[in-house]
Structure formats: C-alpha cells, structure tokens
Structure 1
Amino acid sequence: MFRTSTSDQHPITSLVSHRGVAYWTLVEVTMQVPWFLVQIMHPGDDRDVEHEPKKSFIVPEERVLDLVRLQNVPRLWIESISIISPGYMNGSAGWQMNPLAAIWTASEPDEPSHEATLYELDDGRRYVQSAFGTALKSLVQPVLVADFRPRRAAA
C-alpha cells in the first residue's frame, strides 16, 4: 500500500484532474512487499502505434495477474512488466527494479495447502515470496502462472 498526504497533492490536480483523480508529488511505500511496474499499450484505431503513449501502473501481485488477463483484449497488450523488490527479497540493502520474465506458484513443503510465489527475472534469477520463509530449492511442484517472455516466431 501507499500512503499520501493532502500536502503532497500536486497543484495541477485542481486544473486537469477529473473528479476523484489526484496527482501526487510524493507517496510513501508502507509495506515491504514486491510491487510491479506494468506498461500497457492500447493504441487508438487510426493512430500510429509507434507514437502512442504507454500507460504505466504500479500494482501489487494480485492486480498484475488481473492485467495479464487483459492480454486477450483486442488491440491491448502489455509492453513490459518489472518487479520492484524490497531488499530482503533481492538480497540487497534496498529496493531494486528488474524486468520480470514469469510468475510461478509452488506448494509449501510443510503446509501443502499453502502456496509460495516465485518471481523469475529476465536474467534467470528467482525471488521467493513465502509466508513460511521456504527456500527456493525446497518448494514443491512449481506451476507457471504468467509468462512475460517474448514469444518466439515459428521458423
């Protein structure tokens, strides 16, 4: 989640915003969980795709999977997805952003009714989100949930 304050609302909000929409100069990240930067293209019917602006969203995992389902909508596609991972997950002292290749789920070995989530980066590294702190090598039967790797053309 993000926390904001009215003092951080950008002055342009009152000039260009629609009712219920605001522009912010600052938001605070209140949860140390992965977030996703999703860029979506949705070109107009008679416009040049190369010059269409991308829409970018920062969303939690459950929303990124909703956006993946939109790939079946005609003339709408996900341009890119990056994971924004907290330091405990990426092994550093802070947040990092990396292109995401896929999302997997796997059964927890000691609690098979619970699932952990694996995030596969485009460089092959994998991060695990486990309520029980389970290591990658201990997870059972990974299942591919979403694949963001570019499709290869048939030869």
Structure 2
Amino acid sequence: MFHTNDANKHPLSNAYGKGNHVWIAAEVQLRLPLFMVEFNCQEVDEEGDDLSILRTLFLARGDDVFNLVSDLTPRNSLRSVALLTPTSGELGSIWSINQLTSIWEAEDPSDSHLKLKVFSKADGSYYVDSMLEIDACQLQDWHQLVALPTAGSHQ
C-alpha cells in the first residue's frame, strides 16, 4: 500500500482534472512485494493525431495485476510486469526487481476453495501472492491465466 499527503502534492496537480492528483512522493506503507506494470496507452490528441504514451503503475496485490492485465483494451498493449521485493541485509534495505513471465492460479494446499495467484519469474522461480509463507511446490491444480511479455517481446 502507498501513503501520500498534501505536502507531497505536485504544484501542478490540479491541472490533471478533478479527482486526479500528481505526487512528488508516495510512501510505501508496508515493506511487502510490489508489482510494476508497464503498458502503452493509445490516445488521440486535440488535433486528432494518435499518441502512444507509456504508463507505469505500481500495484500492491497480485489480483489487481491480473485484473489490470485482463482489462486492457486493444488500444492498450502490455509491455512488462515486474516484481519488486524488499530485502534487508547488513548494508541496509534494498529492493530486488524480477521480470515476470506469466500469471497462474493454484489451490491452497490447506483449503482447495482458496485460489492463489502465482507469478513465474524470468529466472524460473515463482512468487506466490499470499500473506502466508506458502512455497509454490505446495500448491495444487495449477492453471495458467496469462503469459506476460518480457524484454524484447510484445503482446
């Protein structure tokens, strides 16, 4: 989750219309993994010319990533999805970034009614989007929901 306050509102924030805000800073409220989703957004300017704008969103939940990817229209093309993972060490805190290649859904081993999102990383490992520490090898009945584009490939 992200936290903002009015002191971090950009001076030109009101230029983006009612209900939209531009921030110069946002605090990561909980040091949990985050997702970074990039996609091209096709728009038409005031003169009727097509514009392609690269948009980058940070999302806190795997379900939100899947919903965004699923809801992209043909005028919006997904470019990449990455996982940002916080770690701590002797030198302080750092964030690791892993390119994601696909989204899966699998059953929780303790309750088959619970479906968890599982993300394949480019290195072949998996990230299970769960507050509980569940290893991917414990999950059952995997179903691939979507393949994600990676560097050099496009959907």
What letter is aligned with 1:34? P
**Are positions 1:39 and 2:38 aligned together?**
yes
C-alpha contact 1:106 1:115 (8 A) present in aligned 2:
yes
Q: Report the equivalent of 1:101.
A: 101
Distance 1:44 1:137 in 2: 43
SS in 2 for 1:95: strand
Distance 2:129 2:63 in 1: 13
Distance 2:137 2:74 in 1: 39
After TM superposition, give the deviation of residue 47 of structure 1 in Å.
5.2
SS in 2 for 1:144: strand
TM-score of the aligned structures, taking structure 1 as reference length: 0.75
Aligned residues: 144
C-alpha contact 1:4 1:27 (8 A) present in aligned 2:
yes
Structure 2 gaps, min length 5: none
Distance 2:16 2:50 in 1: 26
Distance 1:40 1:53 in 2: 8
Distance 1:115 1:48 in 2: 40
**Are positions 1:67 and 2:62 aligned together?**
no
After TM superposition, give the deviation of residue 63 of structure 1 in Å.
2.3
Matches within 5 A, 1:128-139: 128-139=128-139
Relative distance call for 1:24 and 1:132 in structure 2 (3 A) is closer
Relative distance call for 1:75 and 1:140 in structure 2 (3 A) is same
Structure 1 gaps, min length 5: none
Distance 1:115 1:32 in 2: 24
More helix by share: 1
What letter is aligned with 2:29? T
Identity over aligned pairs, percent: 23
Relative distance call for 1:129 and 1:39 in structure 2 (3 A) is closer
What letter is aligned with 2:69? V
TM-score of the aligned structures, taking structure 2 as reference length: 0.75
Q: Report the equivalent of 1:26.
A: 25
SS in 2 for 1:26: coil
What letter is aligned with 1:115? K
C-alpha contact 1:116 1:131 (8 A) present in aligned 2:
no
What letter is aligned with 1:11? P
